[in-house]
Structure 1
Amino acid sequence: MTKKVKLALLAATMLASSGAAMAQDTTLTIESWRNDDLTIWQDKLIPAFEAAHPGIKVKFNPTAPTEYNAVLNSKLEAGSAGDLITCRPFDASLSLYEKGYLSAVQDLEGMKNFSDVAKSGWSTDDGSATFCVPMASVIHGFIYNADALAELGVEPPKTNEEFFAALDKIKEEGTYVPMAMGTNDQWEAATMGYQNVGPNYWKGEEGRNALIKGEQKLTDDAWVEPFRQLAKWKDYLGDGFEAQTYPDSQNLFTLGRAAIFPAGSWEISVFNEQADFKMGAFAPPVQNAGDECYISDHVDIAMGMNANGKNLEAAKTFLNWVGSAEFATLYANALPGFFSLSSHDVKMEDPLAQEFVSWRGTCKSTIRSTYQILSRGTPNLENETWNASANVIKGTETPEAAAERLQKGLASWYDPQK
C-alpha cells in the first residue's frame, strides 16, 4: 500500500469518526421573548448546561417581546418552532397547551421542586396538568433611598401607621418627594399599588381563590380597603404625578429626588446601574404589628416543551436541568430581582435581592389576584383594575365606587360572581 493511499484511508477514517460524533450531537432551540437575556444565556446558562450534558447543544432564539406571541403562534402552526418554548404565565400558555402545542411536564423529575403556587401560572384550571417548568417570579414591595431615610431619621416602616408617619415626616422636611409613582400609565397604580398592598387585606391565596369560587366579592371590605389605602397616597406623590409616566418615576427615584419607590423586584438591576446611593427595601406594611403578612410573589417566566418537536428526550433533559439547583442559582444571580420558584436554597449575591426574597421566610406568597381566570372576559378585570387604581389615587373615583364598578364588570361575564 502506497503512502498516498494510507494517508487517504486515514483521512477518510478521521472524517467518518468526526461525522459520527457530529451525528450524536442534538441541537435544541429555545424560543423566548426575553431578547435582553441573550448574553446571559449565551455566556452563562447554555455553557453550564452543555458542560454537564455533552452531546446536547443549545441555541437561544429570542423575538422582540411585543411580537413574541404572534411569531411563536405562527411558528407552532407551521411546525417550525424550536424545541423549547419560554412561557408567559396563565392564559397565553394555557391556550398553547390546549391546542396541543405544549407537552404536559408534571411527571418530569425536576417538577418535584415546585409548589402549587409556583406552578399556578402554567397549570390547567383544575391543577391536573402542568405544561411549563417554572423559572422565576417577581416580588412586590418598596425600594427606598437608604441615605435619604438615614439623613431624615426615618426607619423602614412595618405597619400602616409607621408607613404614613414616615411619609408625613419626609414630606414635612421637604427635601425629597416621599414616593415616586405616577398615574399616567395606569398599570403601575395597580401593579405596584393595589396588588402590592392588597394581599395583606384579602389574605393572599385565601382571598384570591375565594374570589375565583365566587365566595367573596370585590365589594367586600377585604378588597375595598386596599383602594382606601391608595387614596391616601395622593398627598405623597409630588406635584404633577397625574401626568408622570413610569420612566419619569424611575428617573425621579434614581436621580435621588424621591425617597421611596413602590416597586417590583425587576427594578433591582436597573436601579443598581443608575442610582449612586445606597438602597434598601421593605415589605408591604401590615395593618397592625404582629399581623400575618402576605407578599405578591408573582410567577413571571417558565420553560415548556414543543409537543411536536423533534428532540423530545433532549428537551426533557434540559427541562429537568431548569428545575435544578444549579439553574436556579445561575439564573437568580444573573438577573437579580427575578427569583427562583424552586424549593432549592438559592444563594444570591445582590443585597437588595436578598432582602426581597427573605420575605418568603416570614410572609405567605400569592400571585396577582386578576391574572388567573378572572381576566378572560370583557370587561377585562386586570385592565379595569389599572384604571380603577389610577382613578382612586387621583381622587376621581372613590374606593367604594371603584370596587362596585369592578364587581359589576366581573359579574357581567363570570358565572360564579353573578
Structure 2
Amino acid sequence: MMQTINRIRTIRNAVLIALATVGTAQAGTLTIESWRVDDKTLWETVLIPAFQKKNPGIEVKFAPTAPTEYDSSLTARLAGGTAGDLIACRPFDVSLSLYKKGNLEKLDGKPGMEHFPASAKTAWQTDDGKDTFCMPVASVMHGFLYNQKIFKELNLQPPKTEAEFFKVLDTIKSNGKYTPLALGTADQWESSQVIFTGVGPNYWKGEEGRKALIAGKEKFTDPNFVNAFEYEAKLGKYLSKGASSQTYGDSQNLFALGKAAIYPTGSWDIAYFNTNAKFEMGAFPPPVPKAGDKCYISDHNDIGMGVNKKSKNKEDAYKFLTWLGSQEFADIYTNKVTGFFSLSDHLISVKDPVAKQMIDWRKSCSSTIRLNAQILNRGEPSMENQLWNVNAQVLNGKLAPKEAAAQIQTGFAKWYKPQQ
C-alpha cells in the first residue's frame, strides 16, 4: 500500500514538474544578439518593456558583443549551439553567409515582413532575391551637417547644386575664420563611405549605376564614376592643412567646437553633436551636379534582425519579430536612436529637427545603398580596402581622378567575370 502511495506521489510530482516546465517554455526567455552595445540601456528600459506590455510573460534579454568581436564570437556561438534566439544582422555578405550555413530562418511571408518595401530587404536577401533571412530594422543616411551660426554670419544658404556648393566653400575659405570642411583622411573610411559613396550617387544615378557595375554594363572608368572622383578632388582644397593626419575623432571635435562650417558625415553623428555641440545644426543632402538634375541619397541599410534556426523558442521569437515590424517599434527606434531611420513603410513623426530634415530627403530624392556593399566586395583585391585608400589619396591631391578610377577598375576586373 505504502509503495502504491509513493508511486502515486512520484507520478504526481513528475506531472507537476512537467507542467511547470511547459509553463516556463511557453512564457519563454528570448536572447537578442547584437553589436550595438550603445543601445543596451534603450533596449532594457524602453524597447523590451514596450514589447512585454503587448506580450506579457515573455522574458527578453539583450546581450550585445563589442562591434569588433561580434562577427567572430557570434559565429562561434552559433557553431556551439549557444547563440541567442534573435540575431542582429549586419547588411549583405556577413549575414548572407550565416544564412547559407543554415544559421538563420527564412522570413518571407512571416508577420511583420509586409511592412517593408523591396528596397529595404535587399541587404538581407539571397542574390536572386528569392529568400529574405532578416527583417530590416534601420538605415543611416549620408549628407552634410552645417553650423547655422556660421552660415548666418557669412550670409550663406544650404547649397543645392555643385556650383552653389563650391561658392559656399569659397566664401568660407576666403573669410579665413573657419575650416570649410571638417574632414580628415587619416582613417580613410570617411573618404570612401561618407564622401565617395555619399556624393557619388548623384553622378552614377544611384541604383542604376550600382546595378550596371554588377551586371558588367558600366565600368569605373566610365564618365559617371570618373566625374564623382573629380568632384571629390575639388573638395580636397577645402580641408584643414593637416587633413592627412586628421582622424575621425579630430573632425568631430573640430566641428563640435564651432571651428568648421560644414561636416560631411552620416546621420549616426547627429546624437554625438546634440550632446557635444553648443550651436544649432542644419543638414543638406549632397548637391546635384546642376539645377534640375534628379537627386540621389545614400540611404544605407545598416541593421536587421533574424531568427536563429536552432532557437528553442521560435514561437516567441516570431512574436518579437512581428512587433519589430510594427508602427510602435518604428516610432520608438527612430526617435530614440537618433540618426537611425526605420526601413518600414510606416509614417513616422521624427522629433529631432536635423534627423527630420534627413529623413525628409526620401520624399524628393531616390535612395541607394553604398556602391560596393552588395556582391562587389567578394574578391581580391578587396574593393572596400581599395576604395578607402584611393579616395583618401584623391582628397589629399596625391592621385588624379582618372588614375583612381583605373586602379579600382583594374582590381575589380581581376576577379569579377562580368567586368572581364
TM bin (shorter chain): over 0.9
How is 1:206-285 mapped onto 2 (pairs within 5 angstroms)? 206-285=208-287
1:55: Cα distance to partner? 2.5
Q: Secondary structure at the match of 2:61?
A: strand
Query: Which stretches of structure 1, 4 residues or longer, exceed 4 Å deviation after superposition?
Result: 15-23
1:104-153 Cα deviation digits (max 9, x unpaired)? 11111211111222111111001000100000000000000011101110
2:168 counterpart letter in structure 1: A
- For residues 74 and 23 of structure 1, the distance between their equivalents in structure 2, rounded to whole angstroms, comes to 25
1:18: Cα distance to partner? 8.4
1:208 counterpart letter in structure 2: R
Instruction: State the match for 2:138 in structure 1.
Output: 136
How is 1:240-389 mapped onto 2 (pairs within 5 angstroms)? 240-389=242-391
Q: Is the 8 A contact 2:30 2:85 kept in 1?
A: yes
- For residues 141 and 258 of structure 2, the distance between their equivalents in structure 1, rounded to whole angstroms, comes to 23
- For residues 381 and 129 of structure 1, the distance between their equivalents in structure 2, rounded to whole angstroms, comes to 26
1:232 counterpart letter in structure 2: K
- For residues 350 and 221 of structure 1, the distance between their equivalents in structure 2, rounded to whole angstroms, comes to 38
Q: Secondary structure at the match of 1:109?
A: coil
1:374 counterpart letter in structure 2: L
2:277 counterpart letter in structure 1: A
Q: Secondary structure at the match of 2:128?
A: coil
Instruction: State the match for 1:204 in structure 2.
Output: 206
Instruction: State the match for 1:414 in structure 2.
Output: 416
1:220 counterpart letter in structure 2: D
Q: 1:77 aligns with which of 76, 79, 93?
A: 79
Instruction: State the match for 1:164 in structure 2.
Output: 166
- For residues 330 and 90 of structure 1, the distance between their equivalents in structure 2, rounded to whole angstroms, comes to 25
Count of aligned pairs: 405
Instruction: State the match for 1:188 in structure 2.
Output: 190
1:239-281 Cα deviation digits (max 9, x unpaired)? 1111101100000000000000001000000010000000000
Change in Cα spacing, 1:221 to 1:57, as seen in structure 2 (3 Å) is same
Instruction: State the match for 1:30 in structure 2.
Output: 32
1:222: Cα distance to partner? 0.6
Q: Secondary structure at the match of 1:354?
A: helix
2:147 equivalent to 1:149:
no
- For residues 23 and 127 of structure 1, the distance between their equivalents in structure 2, rounded to whole angstroms, comes to 35
Instruction: State the match for 2:66 in structure 1.
Output: 64
2:381 equivalent to 1:395:
no
1:19: Cα distance to partner? 8.0
2:255 counterpart letter in structure 1: F
Q: Secondary structure at the match of 1:395?
A: coil
- For residues 29 and 319 of structure 2, the distance between their equivalents in structure 1, rounded to whole angstroms, comes to 12
- For residues 24 and 116 of structure 2, the distance between their equivalents in structure 1, rounded to whole angstroms, comes to 36
1:265-315 Cα deviation digits (max 9, x unpaired)? 000000100000000000000011121100000000010000111011111
2:28 counterpart letter in structure 1: T
- For residues 235 and 83 of structure 1, the distance between their equivalents in structure 2, rounded to whole angstroms, comes to 50
- For residues 36 and 23 of structure 1, the distance between their equivalents in structure 2, rounded to whole angstroms, comes to 30
1:332: Cα distance to partner? 0.6
Q: Is the 8 A contact 2:185 2:244 kept in 1?
A: yes
Change in Cα spacing, 1:118 to 1:45, as seen in structure 2 (3 Å) is same
- For residues 381 and 22 of structure 1, the distance between their equivalents in structure 2, rounded to whole angstroms, comes to 49
- For residues 24 and 166 of structure 1, the distance between their equivalents in structure 2, rounded to whole angstroms, comes to 62
1:307 counterpart letter in structure 2: K
Q: Is the 8 A contact 2:181 2:262 kept in 1?
A: yes
- For residues 22 and 308 of structure 1, the distance between their equivalents in structure 2, rounded to whole angstroms, comes to 18
1:21: Cα distance to partner? 5.5
Q: Secondary structure at the match of 1:276?
A: coil
Q: Is the 8 A contact 2:25 2:313 kept in 1?
A: no
- For residues 91 and 312 of structure 1, the distance between their equivalents in structure 2, rounded to whole angstroms, comes to 24
Q: What are structure 1's unaligned runs of at least 5 residues?
A: 1-11
1:235: Cα distance to partner? 1.4
Instruction: State the match for 1:3 in structure 2.
Output: none
**Percent same amino acid at aligned positions?**
55
Q: 1:105 aligns with which of 96, 104, 107?
A: 107
Q: Is the 8 A contact 2:140 2:341 kept in 1?
A: yes
Change in Cα spacing, 1:20 to 1:82, as seen in structure 2 (3 Å) is closer
Q: Secondary structure at the match of 2:415?
A: coil
Q: Secondary structure at the match of 2:112?
A: helix
- For structure 1, which segment, 320-329 or 23-32, has the greater mean C-alpha deviation from structure 2 after superposition? 23-32
- For residues 291 and 226 of structure 2, the distance between their equivalents in structure 1, rounded to whole angstroms, comes to 21
Instruction: State the match for 2:9 in structure 1.
Output: none
- For residues 214 and 115 of structure 1, the distance between their equivalents in structure 2, rounded to whole angstroms, comes to 26
CA-atom RMSD in angstroms: 1.4
